[in-house]
């Protein structure tokens, strides 16, 4: 293989793009990179060729054709891989047929924990002086914490049962974290203009509510 050193750095740029930066050093005769082959092999032997689309999505430039003598340069290459891609080898073959391989592994994607998985119980709904007062109990049975924001709990008011909108988030509710196996009691207040119907949604749970003054 042509003289010099080669190191690699990789990062997942999006769900299906994988990019590498290669530090390439040329010897006294320079390097003809156009005759090099750089491919990704997964653990099962599937081979992925460089992708100009992935390179462009990463905002990286195409590698040069040649490297002048006694110079060093960082060149980039990128690949489109499945979302479940876990790692493999970056295989570099120079113009003389010599090969170097770099093993790498990608960290598994973090499990997405959403408010939809939280158990929500509607304790009470009351109206008082132009306000709707809602009391809730939340319980997180999942193994990871869930962060609630005002947009995760909303109320819509209308003149027909189960109104679809407009939706009003729980304004004034600061974000809070519900840890695994933790429960929380909430008291939330929305303004009310005597609409007879409401819909309340917490994560994936929804209730249709009929309202009366002083209920």
Domain assignments of the chain as residue spans, ordered by start:
6-105, 115-210
CATH number of 6-105: 2.60.40.1240
Distance between terminal CA atoms of the chain? 82
Q: Which pLDDT value is given to residue 11?
A: 39
CATH number of 115-210: 2.60.40
pLDDT tens across 110-124, in order?
A: 544 456 678 888 899
Six-digit token string for 69: 């003598």
User: Are the folds of 6-105 and 115-210 the same?
Assistant: yes
pLDDT tens across 21-67, in order?
A: 888 888 888 888 888 899 999 988 899 999 988 888 778 888 888 88
Burial (CB count <10 Å: 0-12, 13-18, 19+), residue 28: exposed
């Amino acid at each position: 293989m042509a003289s010099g050193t080669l190191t690699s750095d990789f990062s997942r740029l999006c769900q299906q793009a994988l990019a590498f930066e290669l530090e390439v050093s040329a010897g006294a005769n320079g390097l003809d990179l156009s005759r090099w082959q750089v491919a990704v092999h997964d653990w099962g032997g599937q081979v992925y060729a460089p992708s100009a689309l992935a390179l462009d999505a990463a905002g990286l430039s195409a590698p040069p054709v040649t490297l002048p003598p006694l110079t060093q340069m960082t060149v980039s290459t990128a690949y489109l891989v499945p979302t479940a891609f876990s790692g493999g080898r970056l295989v570099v073959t120079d113009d003389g047929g010599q090969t170097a391989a770099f093993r790498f592994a990608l960290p598994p994607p973090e499990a997405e924990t959403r408010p939809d998985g939280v158990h929500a119980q509607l304790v009470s709904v009351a109206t008082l002086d132009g306000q709707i007062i809602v009391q809730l109990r939340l319980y997180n049975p999942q193994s990871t914490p869930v962060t609630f924001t005002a947009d995760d709990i909303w109320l819509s008011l209308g003149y027909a049962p189960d109104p679809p909108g407009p939706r009003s988030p729980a304004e004034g509710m600061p974000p809070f974290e519900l840890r695994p196996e933790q429960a929380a009691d909430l008291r939330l207040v929305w303004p009310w203009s005597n609409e007879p119907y409401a819909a309340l949604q917490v994560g994936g749970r929804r209730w249709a509510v009929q309202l009366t003054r002083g209920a």
